A and B are shown apart, each in its own frame.
Chain A
């Protein structure tokens, strides 16, 4: 699905070059749920943006669905969920979710049908005619997930989508996202800095470390595909979480 080799990205800033990514090799297979975890500045968001063709690598190669990220973007191969909901306040929830469909030129009847289906998928039925600013933060983020799903891309790129939410809402959305992934069989690349979230959701966890941003460890997460919140108390879960924590520690994530 995604294949990166020797990927590097250097930002030229006023304080000199910043090595956001250094020699990153990563393969992500179809139907996987891959979390990128690491401290701030480890390049996890940058890597996601490179996959999405929102940043250009300075060295190395990357393919998304066998083509360049740009070609994949132009083919609308992925849905992207940002840290903030980025809903347009002058559009109703339904109109926001329909935005990519309008841009892609789908007929009105099909747009309405898809909006209805995807709002149901994130449990937002009945909020079609509300404006984003009339919803809570969690509901706004769910609407933005529905918007990323509405044109049915095989690949979902999520950049700390629940970072700004409180823990209770976050647990709830994690369960919903897991169910969604399980049902729709999409490939998900998920940026987070929560260990619990990463272990709970992923089939593979990529631990990254900063300065320069690189991959420290790749941990397979072979927990059962059916997951409930209670899973987080089991020894298997805690063992994987401990491995991720060790990886972050060894990658100097805690040294400052």
Chain B
């Protein structure tokens, strides 16, 4: 077993402190949680039962969450002792689980899903317990449950914002920016004149600060999504161009010699050798740009937009102290950003399966 011994060792005293503290300042749920933790910590200290301790920690967490309204804003040492013990046990159980090497393939897949899932779940649980247990003002950091409630209660607004910012501005700008960057790279690669002429201009465009260009784009293209798409174009153009240029230089001398012995034309060499070799670089740019585009569109909406859009919502709701709506938008942006990144990574695996990093 590769688990760090202090974790299991520390959990036991924390559980003892938690249980005693809970008995001293009565809170029935916390006492139950303390007992569950005590039992699991004892089990963990004496046997290799990480299923037991992981399950015990989850049960204790559920009990603590239930007890939250009673102890809210004024949690005693019993509560915090239990939180600490539950966290240590969960940590211990998750490290053990991730070090586990199952023989069956389906168990391996289950493990690959379970470990990050448990990790994320525990992050949310601790966030909830700490924020509500310590009475952190929701203006500083709302509890996950409050954010969840806000998301569930504002689905039509979120959908409208998603359509405006992502489906219109981001996707349009991303498609145009990436294609223009790609074509510019092909042209620059083809012509020494453009290498000297266009490349410095591209470098300069990349150095323009978005907070400077966004208001100008709004002046040029209006308040609606077109100006945000323009900002996204400016942001995504350069990474695509630079990466494609690097990719077009990826072919070695022997690769070029081979094509030359076949008297292959420029187009044939490009299509059959240089572009396939450039694909890992192109996908790098596509991945970088997928998150960059979302950031660009959201920030651009700060400088003027119709009364819809993720950036518009964030900038107005923060002014109205509706922090949970801001967090709901952040959550949506995170989910959408990771999903687009993941989708591109998936396509990349299918396209550049031959690359040493993906070979099986």
Contact = CB atoms under 8 A, between A and B. Distances in A.
Interface string A98-109: 011011100000
B46 interface: no
A4 B14 CA distance: 89
A80 B261 contact: yes
**Chain B interface SS verdict (over half):** helix
Contacts of B356: 133
A104 B150 CA distance: 64
B262 A76 contact: yes
Interface in B245-272: 254-255, 257-264, 268, 272
A78 B359 CA distance: 33
A90 B276 contact: yes
A74 interface: yes
B258 A80 contact: yes
Given A86-B255, A133-B354, A103 B272 contact: yes
B268 A73 contact: no
B273 interface: yes
A205 interface: no
Contacts of B268: 103
A131 interface: yes
Interface string B330-360: 0000000000000000000000111110010
Given A78-B261, A99-B262, A84 B276 contact: no
Interface in A75-127: 76, 78-80, 82-84, 86, 88-90, 99-100, 102-104
B258 A104 contact: no
Contact of B260 (A73, A83, A131): A73
A76 B263 contact: yes
A99 B261 contact: no
Contact of B262 (A88, A90, A103, A133): A103
Q: How many interface residues does chain B have, given as a range?
A: 20 to 34
A133 B356 CA distance: 9
Given A54-B261, A99-B262, A131 B354 contact: yes
- From B258, B273, B352, name the one whose CB has the most chain A CB atoms within 10 angstroms: B258
Contacts of B273: 88
Given A86-B255, A131-B354, A54 B272 contact: no
A82 B359 contact: no
A89 B354 contact: yes
B160 to A, nearest CB: 43
B359 A133 contact: yes
A90 B280 CA distance: 12
A221 interface: no
Contacts of A76: 262-263
B272 A82 contact: no
Contacts of A47: none
A131 B273 CA distance: 16
A20 interface: no
A134 B153 CA distance: 54
B256 to A, nearest CB: 9
Contacts of A103: 259, 262-264, 268, 272
Given A84-B254, A86-B255, A74 B263 contact: yes
A157 B206 CA distance: 48
A248 interface: no
Interface string A47-58: 000001110000
Contact of A82 (B254, B263, B353): B254
B291 to A, nearest CB: 27
Given A102-B272, A133-B359, A54 B254 contact: no
B262 A104 contact: yes
Contact of A99 (B263, B272, B352): B272
A52 B260 CA distance: 9
A133 to B, nearest CB: 6
Contacts of A82: 254, 257-258
A155 to B, nearest CB: 11
Contacts of A79: 261
A31 B271 CA distance: 36
Contact of A52 (B254, B261, B276, B355): B261
A100 B263 CA distance: 9
A168 B99 CA distance: 43
A141 B241 CA distance: 36
A86 B261 contact: no
A11 to B, nearest CB: 14
List the 5 shortest-distance A-B pairs measured between CB atoms, nearest first: A89-B354, A90-B354, A80-B261, A103-B262, A86-B254
13 contacts: A54-B261, A73-B263, A78-B261, A79-B261, A82-B254, A82-B257, A83-B254, A84-B254, A86-B254, A89-B355, A103-B268, A103-B272, A133-B354
Given A80-B258, A88-B272, A89-B355, 12 more contacts: A52-B261, A53-B260, A54-B261, A73-B263, A79-B261, A82-B257, A88-B273, A90-B354, A99-B272, A103-B262, A103-B268, A104-B262
